[in-house]
Amino acid sequence: MLLSKLSGKGLVAAMLAVCLTGGSACAAGEEIVWPKKMVVSMATSGGPANMIMAAIARVIEKNTPVQRVIVQPIGGINNFAPMMEKGEVDMAIHSGADVMAHMAGLEGDNRMGFMRTLLPASSQAFLCLTTPDKGIRNLADLKEKVVYSRNPGNTMFDPVVRALLAGAGLKDSDLKANLTKANNTVAIADVVEDRADAMIMPALTNVVMELRQAKGDCLFITPTDEQLPAVKSAMPPGYYFDTLPAGSRLYGNTDEVKNAPIYRSVLLVNEKMPKAMAAELVRVIMEHRDEWVNVHGQAVDWGVMSLGLPPMHEGAREYFESKGLITDEQKAEQDKFLSMLSAQE
């Protein structure tokens, strides 16, 4: 039956029926044509992000016409990006810093300019970890030290390490040795058994706890206030600096840690996703936050705006602005990066 031939309660009922049966939904006065299924790319199977995303998938299935949300391990950005561009993947969880490095042209010519942030996800601090016996209390103390600072599977390590060293007026060549981390177990053992002095890496609670148990404490070395401007100047896009509160469950630090470099994981979509669909997805996820926020400790950061995010999808940004959940500083950074992308076209 045509909606134009209905009125009153009949029109309302018909519109509601359309919204619930998957043909379209009615958000902000726009018609949304929903797919029957959506595919979400994850780097691997298992882990906190998978647990949280699986819970969000159930929320989407219950509160939109999407019948099935498939959370699937597809791999890194070079795997899921071509699929997202072709419409074979609808959403993906990935490091926002890596996306922004591609967009800025730091990872070659494939700039991934079609990607947009639908939802901020977990945060991760990138720190220098050491133990009290190594004599390291400042980034400058890394001179002539043996440091684990490279990871063959993660291209973001090198520029971040260079930026941290630059804050202390150091270069890679100022280290006694710059080791490649095959895995955390080997690196921890080398620090504990005095074959290495420090690790520069995304801080993980289990690493902190193992170092503390073996050596009495684990020290978090971050830029001083004096070093911070030089570090910020050298840092690749996608990072911001914040204070880790004392007793953080995410990092295991006992004391407050100032000037910690932080990057975000983000839930990405194609910029071509209809504005109304993106806004409705964010609304549904955020308004049902209580159904997924307790799945894992990392979920507390999901949906919380910050600096260092790849450009927001216009529908997502509209939602966060309407709720007063994005600051002027964050909006200015978003606009600056969007201008950079426009200049590349």
- Ordered by where they begin, the domains of the chain are 26-123+264-344 (3.40.190.10), 125-263 (3.40.190.10)
Given phi > 0 = left and psi -120 to 50 = alpha, else beta, which region is 123? beta
Q: Which residue has the tokens 């669909």?
A: 277
The DSSP string of 186-214 is HHHHHHHTTS--EEEEE--HHHHHHHHHH
Cα dist. 282→77, 80, 186 in Å? 22, 21, 41
Q: How far is 218 from 60, CA to CA, in rounded Å?
A: 41
Q: How far is 166 from 174, CA to CA, in rounded Å?
A: 11
Lowest average pLDDT, out of 11-20, 203-212, 221-230, 318-327, goes to: 11-20
Q: Residue 226: count other Cβ atoms within 10 Å of its Cβ.
A: 9
Higher pLDDT, 81 or 152: 81
Given phi > 0 = left and psi -120 to 50 = alpha, else beta, which region is 28? left
Cα dist. 30→2, 27, 118, 143, 279 in Å? 18, 6, 18, 59, 11
Strands 219-221 and 115-130 come out as antiparallel
As a whole number, mean pLDDT of residues 78-87 equals 95
8 A C-beta contact, residue 25 and residue 65: yes
Cα dist. 108→92, 95, 152, 237, 339 in Å? 21, 17, 17, 15, 20
Q: Which residues contact 29 (CB under 8 A, 6 or more apart)?
A: none
Lowest average pLDDT, out of 33-42, 144-153, 308-317, goes to: 144-153
Tokens at residue 55, please?
A: 């819970």
Nearest to 60 by CA among 52, 73, 69, 50: 69
Question: How many residues are given for the chain?
Answer: 345
Tokens at residue 327, please?
A: 């600051």
Strands 115-130 and 198-202 come out as antiparallel
8 A C-beta contact, residue 142 and residue 162: no
Binned at pLDDT 50, 70 and 90, residue 29 comes out as low
pLDDT, tens only, 202-226: 888 899 999 999 999 999 999 999 9
Higher pLDDT, 9 or 58: 58
pLDDT, tens only, 128-182: 999 999 999 999 999 999 999 888 777 778 899 999 999 999 999 999 999 988 7
Average pLDDT, the chain: 89
Tokens at residue 81, please?
A: 């990006």
Chain CA centroid to CA 194, Å = 33
8 A C-beta contact, residue 151 and residue 201: yes
Chain CA centroid to CA 92, Å = 11
8 A C-beta contact, residue 275 and residue 314: yes
Please state whether the predicted TM-score (pTM) of the whole model is above 0.85.
yes
Binned at pLDDT 50, 70 and 90, residue 104 comes out as confident
pLDDT of residue 20: 41
